[in-house]
Every structure is written in structure tokens, then in C-alpha cells.
Amino acid sequence: MAIAGSGTVSFSDLRTEFVGGSSAISFNDLYRGGSNIKAKAGDNLSTNLAASVPANGTIDIADFYSTSKGFKFTVDSNTTNFEVDSAFGDDYDLNYPKIVDIDSGVTIGGNADEAIDIPSGLASTLTINNSGIVIGFGGASASAAGGHAIACATANVTINNTGQISGGGGAGGAGGAGGNGETEGSREPAANWTNGSAQLGHYWNVNTYHFYYNGSTSYIYWGSNIGSASGFPSYVTIGSNRYYRGIHRTTNKYEIYRQYMNSTSGGTGGAFGNGAGYNQSATAGGTGAAGGTAAGTGGNGGAGGALATAGTAGSTGANGGITNGAAGGTAGAAGAAVSGTSVTMNNTGTINGAVA
């Protein structure tokens, strides 16, 4: 508790604030820069709450009016990615209380990182008094997680919140692509690629397939031995072509012919939606596009999440005639209000998201 701003101040008050214990003290124990009231390091940007206390020479009770033990940094204008240790410089690991005040009307936003980062290495205690808005970034790429408002990697942190602390929303997943289809292209009759016209006992070898005509029916065999038939499918696929057994269009005899096939692409999936966060609103996912002939339509993209809410997964693309549609992207996770090491939270304001 700070020393009174006027009136009577006792040595007991000074001992309680700056020294502790119950032993007798004198003014010699209370110079700024000594073991009880610390001086600031050169890179410490905060205010010494006992700056009015002399470092040497004459000292009296009035020098202690409205003082307290600690360094305090005030955030009085909008900023992003605030690193707490940078406010206290080399004194971050000094065993001395530290305070961060965030003024009303001030926003600290996350920009591809936590809005406030409290790294390890803190000595003594840290108190954050938030009257402003601390908000993590929203997911802005497919399936991206929302950012944390505060990331804490050290113990002995207390947060007194009368403002708003919100994690970012996760992005939606992109919609999956539709499956591919195909259409028939030109047909090449047997006379163009066999060793002669279809006749009794004739066969043609493509890779390990054999096509055999016995005078009335064309058979499709598998393997090197024509006599070991493994079945008689209506066609087989070799590479990008299909080979059919059917009726020759001019001789009216059975034949094997090659059917060229043209692939058609599945529709593209819909775009993901952004998650809500610093300088970013949640958006809906996009609609999947139609595919080519006999191809599947792309799945719809997932919507972005509200503050501290996960996004929605993208939908699976529709199956095509040749391949199945692809799965949609996963939902982006929600950002936390405070992540990492547990803090003491005293809240009378608004908190969106988990608190470690």
C-alpha cells in the first residue's frame, strides 16, 4: 500500500512498505538506490514509484509522501505486440515489484503474435491493471488458430481487469476440391492398331493384358497365358485409355477397340473465413465451385470464429465420376484470453477465452 500523501507517516509505515519484518529501521535504510528502495537501470522505461526519495544527503518523512515500492509502466496509447520485459529493461529480473497500467480507451492488439507477452525471467511480482482492450489476432489463413491476448511464461502475475481481454477467433477451413470426372474422346478401331483384322485366334498384347477373339466373342485375359482367363470385364483401363470389347462398326464382327478418355477437373473448394480479432471481423466461408462434366462440386469453405471461438471446418468436395472429393480443411482453434503459466485473475470487466 502506498504511503499517505500528507499528514502523519510513521517509521512503522515505511518499514511495512519498503523493508518488511519487525526490526528497527532508520533513514539510512531508506535511501533510494539502497537494498530496500531500488534505483532504476538505464534501460528501465518505467517510473520509480519512490523517485522522490533522496539517494543521499538530507532525508525526512515528507520525501516519502505518496511513494510506494515498485516500478510502474503506463500504456497510454494504442500499440501492438507489447513485450512486458522491454518496459523494465535490465530490472525485469530484479527482485522488486513491477506494475503495468493500461489506460481506459487504449487498445493493445496482437499482430501475428500475442497482444501482450510476459516472458520468463521475471523476479518479484508483476501486476497488470487493465482498463483498456487487449485483443489477440484473428486467424487469417486457412485453418489458422486465433492469437492469444496475453501469453504468460512466468509465475507471480496478477491481472486486475476492468476492461476487455479477448482471444482471437480461429479461421475456417478451406473447402475440399471436388472429385475428377471424365468424358469420352475419339475411338480407335481394332484395324488401326492390331496386327490384322479381327479373326479366330487373334490377340493383341498391351502391357500384361491380352485381348482374344475366338470367332464370336472377344475375351479379355490377365497374364501371359491366354488360356488362364481371370474374368471378362466390359473394359480395362491402361494409362489414360480404356479398351473395350464390342461390335466393329463396319464389319459387324466382335473386336477390341481403344477408347480415348478426356479427364475433367473437380470444382475448387470455397475459401476459408477469417476469424475475429484485432482490426479484423469474422467472415463467412466461400461457396465451392462447380466442376467439369461428371466431376464433383467443391465443398464450401468454413466460417471464421467470433472472438475466442474456433472456426468451422470446410466441407468435403462432392465425388466425381473418377475420383472422390477431397476433405475440407480443419477448423482453426480459438485464441485464449491468457495462455501459458497460471495467473491470478481479478475480473469485473469482459473476458473472452480461457484463462490459464
For residue 57, give every residue at least 6 positions away whose Cβ sits within 8 Å of its Cβ, in sequence order, or none.
Answer: none
> Under the phi-then-psi rule, with left for phi > 0, alpha for psi from -120 to 50, and beta for the rest, what region is 89?
left
- Banded pLDDT at 216 (limits 50, 70, 90): very low
pLDDT of 231 strictly over 70: no
Give the residue extent of every domain in the chain. 1-69, 70-175+267-356, 181-264
- Banded pLDDT at 351 (limits 50, 70, 90): very high
- Banded pLDDT at 299 (limits 50, 70, 90): very high
pLDDT, residue 262, reads 83
- Banded pLDDT at 207 (limits 50, 70, 90): very low
Tens-place pLDDT, residues 90-140: 999 999 999 999 999 999 999 999 999 999 999 999 999 999 999 999 999
Sheet holding 202-206, edge to edge: 202-206, 209-213, 218-222
Nearest CA among 254, 289, 253, 293 for reference residue 270: 289
φ and ψ at 156, to 5 degrees?
Answer: 65, 40
- What proportion of the chain, given as a percentage, has pLDDT over 90? 76
Strand partners for 98: 71, 126
Tens-place pLDDT, residues 168-186: 999 999 999 999 998 877 7
Tens-place pLDDT, residues 219-228: 444 434 333 3
- What proportion of the chain, given as a percentage, has pLDDT over 70? 79
pLDDT, residue 240, reads 62
> Residue 211 corresponds to which cell in the numbers above?
485381348
End-to-end CA distance of the chain: 27
User: Per the confidence metrics, is the pTM higher than 0.85?
Assistant: no
What distance in Å separates the CA atoms of residue 208 and residue 245, rounded to the nearest whole number? Answer: 17
pLDDT of 215 strictly over 50: no
pLDDT of 319 strictly over 70: yes
Mean per-residue pLDDT of the chain: 86
- The region of weakest confidence among 55-69, 137-151, 198-212 is 198-212
Report angle CA 246, 323, 208 to the nearest 5 degrees: 45
pLDDT, residue 140, reads 98
